[in-house]
Structure 1
Amino acid sequence: MDPEEHVGKAWDRLIRRAARNDHPEAAVALDEMRPRLGPLFRALGGDDGLRIEPAPALPHGARRTLLQSIAGSHRRAELAWTDTQALYLPGRLALFPETALNRDLYLWLAALAALGDALPAGSSWLARGPELAHRALRRLPGMRPRYERLVSAYLPLRPDPGKLPAGEAAAEQTVRAALTDPGTAVSIPAAKRPPAPVALWLHPSPPEEQAPVAASDAGEGAEPSSEGETRDLEDRRRRRGERVAMPERDKGLLLFRNAESIWSWSEFVNVDRPTEEDEDLEAAADAADDLDLLSLSRDNKRTASRLRFDLDLPSEANDDTPLGGGILLPEWDYRRDALRPDFCRLQPMVAEDAPPAELPEGLRSTARRLRGQFRQLTPTRTWLAGQPEGTEVDLDAYQHFVAERAAGAATEDPALYRDLRPGDRDIASLLLADLSLSTDTWVNSRARVIDVIRDSLYLFSEALTATGDRFAIYGFSSRKREHVRYHVLKEFGERYGGRVRGRLAALKPGFYTRMGAAIRQSIRLLAGQPASHRLLLLLTDGKPNDMDRYEGRYGVEDTRMAVREARRMGLQPFCVTIDRDAEDYLPHLFGSRGYVVIRTPEELPRRLPHLYAQLTR
């Protein structure tokens, strides 16, 4: 490394470290707080359809310290706000030197967000913040001690009014007064710069550029504990974007009236879907992170990416065989609050050309052990005494009958027999497996998600064959509403054997995850089974989504309605997932006891049969 570059990097690290005003040793991550924030938000009346997401860091325009200006940090702050899709909170809070206070701040912001719909969405955050805080303290008096602790610890962290210009000092004094007494009216004096962001207030709506915003100081100046944590958090943050016209490419040089205007210039980059031919994608991601606003436009030129996507579709010769012309199914539109009839076309498919297969060698010992364990679930044959018909005479019943007849009280139709009959285990189960493209990702260096799912289906089938329970297995993926693929792996009444194992061996990742349609077709199949207990088991690695508008809130609400339809039909829906963020949305879909998250995907094949045993015990 060049000595000048080495000195420059050391100087940059030194200045940035000196400019920091957070407390990494007391940091609290949003992922750590999710199990508490979700129930609190919904218990206080928050929209249970909103997921909790890390907020983007946006420019606030407030005055920074000299060290922060030299370091080029603290230009942005993470806001707390809601829209129709999610509740956005800082991805990491290290504002206070005490971990308990950072946790309290998360809880306070979640409480504010739960009460936020009552105020106009277009109001200024400087007016909305104190008003909403006042309302929260009035409705939630138990929050007042927490709020007072937060204010006492937060005011010393605010800019010193004595070191600010007159207009900005007056604005800061007004903000401090509103924090101390949220019931007071707020009127911010005119100043060259807006006040510093207020970590204890909520932004009223998706923020606009150059607006002063409420957020924690855990923005650009706060550094997560590791590089991996930084990238993971950035990948899950919501970016701000706008749609613009495609820029002309034959323009000449840009001229600036002032020399400093060059710092406001943003570069146009032609970015398409990434392909294997793309170079330096990490550098492109870093460049996107440096932009305050991503401007998106549609290029009408034909590119290889479209051709590449079409080539990813399997040819008819290599695809599963369609069964019939497709099935029309409804879909729930939460915005219309109505079910749209015949909106999706589901296509049943079967791998008829898949050769029969044996159980993989690596699963045979586990399957042997599972079969032995699950045979214990098979109902034992028991003697039923006092029957009018049977295979043997019930001596106790006969003696009782003789004694009663001698006493003159014998019945006309005595039950003098006993019969050996099987126990009662009347169960039908349908396992629906997500085969979307996300299952092509690697769990470890040896296996992909689709491989883990395939092994799970093998062992699930082996275990249920030992009990004698009726079961069926289907897989699904989708490509828009007109092409929902529904793979027949094992039907009810079909014997589990080499042909079924061959279909399982032929499994491959598909496209997207239109869950609602697949669940509705599974409901139709399972509801037709004459069983007292009918279990619909969904196996997935992510949330509902598709190429069209079936994403975010729309897909979640349609899936939730399909689950409710299953329950109305007397079925028991249950979800098994390996998605680490599933606890944000699965309680809304399946209820607090209707799902389980497998933290380590490799454990899924072993845990799935035992989970079935617990559900059908």
Structure 2
Amino acid sequence: MEEYIGGLWDKLITRVAYQGYPEARVELAQMKNIAATFFRALGGDPGLNLQSGSASTHGARRRWLERIAGIGEKVELTWADDSTLHLPAYIDYFPERELNRELYLWLLALVAHDVQPTAPYLQRNQAATLALLNAFPSLQERYARLVQASLLRRTDPSQLKKHEAQNELLIRQALKNPGSVHTELIKTSRKEFAFTPVILWLQSANKSNAVSNKAANKTTPEQAQGSAAQNDTEQRKRMAERTDMPDNPSPFMLLFRAESLFSWAEYVKVNRPLDEDDNPDAQRAANDFDVLSVANDGKSTASRVRFDLDLPAEADDDLLLADGILYPEWHYKKQQLIDKHACIQMLLARDAEPQSLPAHLRPTAKRLRQQFQSLAPERQRLRSQMRGDDIDIDACVRFNAERCGANSATNHHRLAVASPGLYLDNRQQSRDMACLLLADLSMSTDTWVNNQARVIDVIRDSLYLLCEALAATRDRFALYGFSSVRRDNVRFHLLKGFDEPYGDQIRGRLAEIKPGFYTRMGAAIRHASAILQQQKNARRLLFILTDGKPNDLDQYEGRYGIEDTCVAIHAARQMGLIPFCVTIDEKAEDYLPHLFGAKGYIVVKDATELPQLLPRLYAQLTNQY
């Protein structure tokens, strides 16, 4: 009974004390469809992903109801690191929903014009605001509305102590007249309160690193009832910093006073060198930190051994067709192309035996062949040809009439009549299309889809059906797969070359594909582009099938891999190729628009539909281009 009454009291006091407007809430998930496009259109870094961040303690004075309810200590602000732009998971700061939506757009635009990211707090945000308003004067009216509504939510300086009031006056002046404040905020003592955070500004960037974490902070009763913000399943980031390992000359003595044993703010040595270690209390502990400090003690552990994926022995590996094919790689931090950095190894399945099409795919393959036969080129009868199989009677009559008219001219001058085409010819018209499909064969494809099939099995079935469909169209096509182990071992598997006929031998190679290693996508795309560029067809389609973002062991992850892949795709377009990506990665919307553009990719929500979708998608693309 006490717990029940306590729960009711907690909901009541939280609802009364909460300062937001849940009925006017706008969530980041609702804005993601336009947020990325809006951010890049205003000049934002196209390599930044949009993601919700974590709340941080602001230290400002709270109302007594908030202190009783235990809320209001933290607030979600906007900040960015090298790879991600972190926005609040939701905004319900204003009572009008439209203003909350405008605030999201303002924050996106402000980050795009953050011209002094390392400057002090006031100077940085004033400079960004001025840069944005100068670049887009039409935003003046929107900004004025946001400032007016924000000032109404802030505490009146007359109700604050001396230093708090001075800081509040500086903030208000900087909001109303950006660039007019040339001093910085007054540093208060530990007993005094910090300033109330400005929701229209960017958070201080003194902590630039980030670690992954799923935040679960207590906020509103609506969240406790199961709203989308409370059940947030997207990956969040936490502010983090690197620090030195504290020196403890007396290992048998505690590094903190005994009376502060239960304070999470003190340093506690947690020897956790393994990612696989699970601690059910770690999540709750992390939620109490504003900044996670990470130190390396330089000690190894003997309890568990972690191995990297190793290459198979030569006797068990695929046949090596070519080795040492070098390609450059883009280093985005240095902003330069490193020549001869990634090494391609051309491989062919060693034990592939000819096989017929699997029985469970035969009905679908038969239907696809019938549908795609309509795309096959047909013989056409061409008139007025210079040579051919038959005489064009109509062309002969016209030519004779024109010649007779020229001979009977009154001026007795002979008029020249162009030599016509007098023949009929039957020719096979070609679609003049070449397609290279590049399939991701990394270890991530070994996962299961809805506990029904592995991703690699879905990819194999998709290749089977696509080959059956393309064979019916008589288009020229090739199939390759790729995986990697660091830059020296980018494995490029030959499944079908352009000059090889599709048959049981190719099906045998498809049956032998298996998952392994990592995804160095940039090098694979460069080699595929070089192969496709050699084809003389008018239209050349580079079809990429993957289940995740680029990654590898040697720093080829995160933004490094994405930027290198982006440069490789741009180079393919300059060759006259048409890159298009099909992915089953649920988080692909965060990075694929930057790589392939808004219309250069498709995300398949249900991987089991890929075998039927892939041939239809190819038909649409060939008609479009």
The alignment's TM-score, normalised by the length of structure 1, stands at 0.87
The structure-2 alpha-carbon separation of the partners of 1:507 and 1:94, relative to structure 1 and needing over 3 Å to count, comes to farther
1:486 maps to a residue whose letter is F
The CA deviation string for residues 547-588 of structure 1, in whole angstroms up to 9 with x for no partner, is 222223322221122112212222121222233443333333
Bigger shift: residues 569-578 or 466-475? 569-578
**Which residue in the other structure is 1:508 paired with?**
514
Quick one: structure 1 residues 448 and 29, their matched pair in 2 at CA, closer, same or farther if it must change by over 3 Å? farther
Q: Secondary structure at the match of 1:548?
A: coil
Q: Distance in 2 between matches of 1:459 and 1:206?
A: 53
User: How has the CA–CA distance of structure 1 residues 438 and 150 changed in structure 2, closer, same or farther, with 3 Å as cutoff?
Assistant: farther
- Deviations along 1:160-181, one digit per CA (max 9) or x if unpaired, are 4454333223322432343334
Q: How many residues align?
A: 602
Corresponding residue for residue 410 of structure 2: none
How far apart, in 2, do the equivalents of 1:15 and 1:498 lie?
A: 72
Shift of 1:34: 2.6
1:165-184 map, 5 Å: 165-184=161-180
Aligned-residue CA RMSD in angstroms? Answer: 3.3
CA distance in 2, matches of 1:77, 1:589: 33
* Aligned 8 A contact 1:435 1:509 in 2: yes
Residue 589 of structure 1 aligns with which residue?
Answer: 595
Contact kept? 2:89, 2:229, Cα under 8 Å: no
Give, in whole Å, the separation in 2 of the partners of 1:281 and 1:449. Answer: 30
Matched, 1:552 2:546: no
Q: Which runs of 5+ in 2 are unaligned?
A: 210-215, 408-414
Equivalent of residue 603 in structure 1, options 605, 609, 612: 609
* Alpha-carbon offset, residue 200 of structure 1: 0.5
Does the residue aligned with 1:376 lie in a helix, a strand or coil?
A: helix
1:316/1:405 Cα in 2 relative to 1: closer, same or farther (>3 Å)?
A: same
Query: 2:574 maps to what in 1?
Result: 568
Instruction: Tell me the distance in 1 between the aligned counterparts of 2:303 and 2:227.
Output: 34
Contact 2:329 2:337 in 1 (8 A): yes
Maintained 8 Å contact 1:54/1:236:
yes
Residue 45 of structure 1: how far off its partner (Å): 2.3
Cα distance change, pair 189–221 in 1 and its aligned pair in 2 (3 A): same
Contact 1:577 1:597 in 2 (8 A): yes
Q: How many Å separate the matches in 1 of 2:530 and 2:204? A: 44
Distance 1:426 1:289 in 2: 59
**2:584 is matched by which residue type in structure 1?**
I
Name the amino acid aligned to 2:384: G
Q: Name the residue aligned to 2:493.
A: 487
Distance in 1, Cα, partners of 2:288 & 2:314: 45
Q: What percent of counterpart residues are identical?
A: 47
- 1:127 is matched with 123
TM-score (norm 2): 0.86
2: CA distance, partners of 1:162 / 1:392: 101
CA contact (8 A) 1:479 1:547 kept: yes
- Say whether the 8 Å CA contact 1:75–1:220 is kept in structure 2: no
Question: Does the CA contact (< 8 Å) of 1:476 and 1:486 recur in 2?
Answer: yes
Provide the C-alpha distance between the structure 1 equivalents of 2:74 and 2:285, rounded to a whole number of angstroms. Answer: 16
Q: Are the equivalent residues in 2 in contact too, given 1:81–1:206 (CA < 8 A)?
A: no
In structure 1, the partner of 2:108 is: 110
Aligned to 2:299: 300
Match of 1:154 among 136, 150, 154: 150
Residue of structure 2 in register with 1:55 after alignment: 53
Deviations 1:401-445 (A, max 9, x none): 443455547969653221111113111111111222333333323
Q: 1:145 to 1:446 in 2, by over 3 A?
A: same
* 1:24–1:224 CA contact under 8 A, matched in 2: no
Post-superposition shift, 1:21? 2.3
CA distance in 1, matches of 2:304, 2:497: 38
Tell whether 2:429 aligns with 1:435: no
Is 1:616 paired with 2:617? no
Structure 1: stretches of 5+ with no match in the other structure: 210-217
1:323 aligns with 2:324: no
**2:88 is equivalent to residue 87 of structure 1:** no
CA pair 75-519 structure 1, distance change in 2 beyond 3 A = same
Matched, 1:245 2:222: no
- The 5 A counterparts of 1:48-447 are 48-117=46-115, 119=116, 121-185=117-181, 187=183, 188-191=185-188, 192-203=192-203, 205-207=205-207, 221=219, 223=223, 226=226, 230=230, 232-233=232-233, 235-245=235-245, 250-256=251-257, 262-275=263-276, 281-292=279-290, 293-297=292-296, 299-303=298-302, 306-310=305-309, 314=312, 319-404=317-402, 406-407=404-405, 408=407, 415-447=421-453
Q: 1:229 to 1:303 in 2, by over 3 A?
A: farther
Give 1:234 shift. Answer: 5.8
Amino acid at match of 1:297: N
